[in-house]
A and B are shown apart, each in its own frame.
Chain A
Amino acid sequence: MLRSWNCLKVEEQYLFNLFYMATFKLDITREHCPMTFVKTKIELSKLKSGDVLEVLLTEGEPLQNVPKSSTEQGFKVLEISHVEGLVHKVLIQK
C-alpha cells in the first residue's frame, strides 16, 4: 500500500484524500487572536491521521499564521485558495 501510494503523483494523492479521507469544516472568519489558531489546533487534534480540515479564515494574521503554525507542527497544508472578499480557504491534512 505504501509503495503504491508513493507511486502516485501529488495531484493523485490529493484527489485520493479528497474522496477517501473525511473532510471536516471550521469557520474562524469571526474569531480573533489567539482563538483563530487555538480553534484550528483543537479541531485538528480531534481528527484522525489523514483526515482533512477545511478552514475558512480572513486575510491578515489568520491567513499568515494558521497555515504556518500548522506546517510547523507537522500537518500538511494541501491548498490555500481565495473564496470571496477577505475570506480564504485553507485545506490542512492531519
Chain B
Amino acid sequence: MNLLRHMSLAAWLAMFFAAATALVFSVAGVHLYLSMSQQLQLREDTLLLNTIGFLRHRLVMPDGVEMARLHPDRLLDVVLGQKGLLLAIKDSREGLLAASTRDAMQLSTDAPVPADLTPDAAAIRDWHGSDGKRGRMIAAWVRISQEPDDQVQLIVAREHTESAIVLREHRNHVLLAVLTGVLATALLGYAIARRGLRSVQMVARAAGEITANQLGGRLRIEETPAELEVMVRAFNHMLDRLEDSFRRLTQFSSDIAHDLRTPIGNLMIQTQVTLTQQRSMPEYEALLASNIEEYERLNRMIENMLFLARADNAQVALHRDNISVGLELQRIAGYFEGMANETGVTLDVDASGALVADAILFRRAVSNLVANAIRHTPSGGHVTIRGHEREPGKFVVVVSNPGSGIPAEHLPRIFDRFYRADNSRGGSQSSFGLGLAIVKSIMTLHGGSVRVESVPNGLTTFSLIFPRG
C-alpha cells in the first residue's frame, strides 16, 4: 500500500493508460475472435451442406440406387481423401450400412432431414468425436425406390481441423497485438505524463526558491499550463498574504524596539544628568518619580503587547455576560467626564438594549475609542457615544467626534500595531499606537468587527459591530 502511495504520478498515469488500453484491446480482440469463429463456422456449414447435397445427388443417379442397395461402401469413395470428412450410411431401420472411419460408426443426429426436403443450416448439429475431435454434422434421408420406406440415411460430419488452426492463429495475433499495444501505451503514457508533469516540477522548483528573505518572488502565470493556473494563483495569493504578515511582523518588531527606546532613553538621560553632580533632596525625589512614570509606561506597553499576543493566539478567555449597554456607556462616560470637561469637550450618550459580551473587554474597547475621541476633539466639541441594535443580530456601538479627521491614506492602517497617523512619538500620555489594535483584537475575539469613517474637518466615526449572542 505504501509502495503504491509513493509511486510517482507519471507511473500511476502510465499504469492507468496501460490498464485502459488492455481493457479496450481485449474487448475488441474478443469481439474479433468471436466474429471470426462465427464466419468460419458459417463457411464450414456451407461446405457440409454442399457435401450432403452432392451425396444425395449421387445416390439418386441411375446407378446410385444399386450402389446404395448393394455397395453402400462405394459411396465412401466420395469422402475418401478429404481430410476431416466423415460419412456413415444407415438403412431405414438405422442399421449401419457403411462408415468411413471408426468415428463415423458412431455418427447419429436427432434431426435427420426427411427425404423430400432440402437440408439447411437448421439441421446441422455439433459433433464430438473420440480424442476430443470436434466438428459439425448433418444427416439426411435419401429415397432409393418408389416405396416410401425404402430409404437410406446419410450422415456427414466435418472436423474443425482447418478452421481451428486459423482460429488459433487469429487468437495469437490478437493476443500479441493486445500485449504490444499495452506495453506501447504504458511506455508512451509514462513519457507523456512525465513531459506533462514537468510544469509541476517547475512550479515546485520555483516555490522552493522562495525564502523568508525573498518573499517577493512569484510563480509566473503565463508559463503555467491552464490546469495549474488555479493552483499557481492560489499559491501566489498565499505568498501575498504571507509577505504582508511578514512585513507587518518585521515592522512590529522594529516598532517595539523603537518604542521601548523612547522611555529607556528618557530614563538614561535624566538619571545620568542628575548623577553628574550633587543634587538637593527634592531633585532626587523628582528624578525617581519621573523614573516611575517611565517604568509605568514601559509596563503598560508590555501588558498591552502581551494582551495582543494572547488575543492573536485566542488565549484570552471571554467571560460573556448579558450587559446593559446604556448602563455601561453611561459608566464609561462618567469615567471620562472630568477629563473631557478639562478640555471643554462634552460627552453625549444615547444607548438602549443589551448585548452579550465580556464586560471588561467591552469597557476596554469603548474606553480606548472614547479616550482617543476626547484627545482629538477641539474645545467646545461634542463626543457622541451611541449603542443600539441596528438590525436583528447586529449590535453597533458608535463613538464619533468632530476634529481635523484622519487622512484617508492612514485609514486602512490605523488598526495596525504601533501605527500612528501623526507619526510623532507623543508624551507619556500617548497610547503607544496599540489602543486601536487592542480594540480590533477585542472585536475579533467577540466575532465582531470595527469600522472607521472620517471626513476631513468633519466627523470621525468608529463603529464596533457585535454579533448577537
- Tell whether A and B belong to one assembly: no
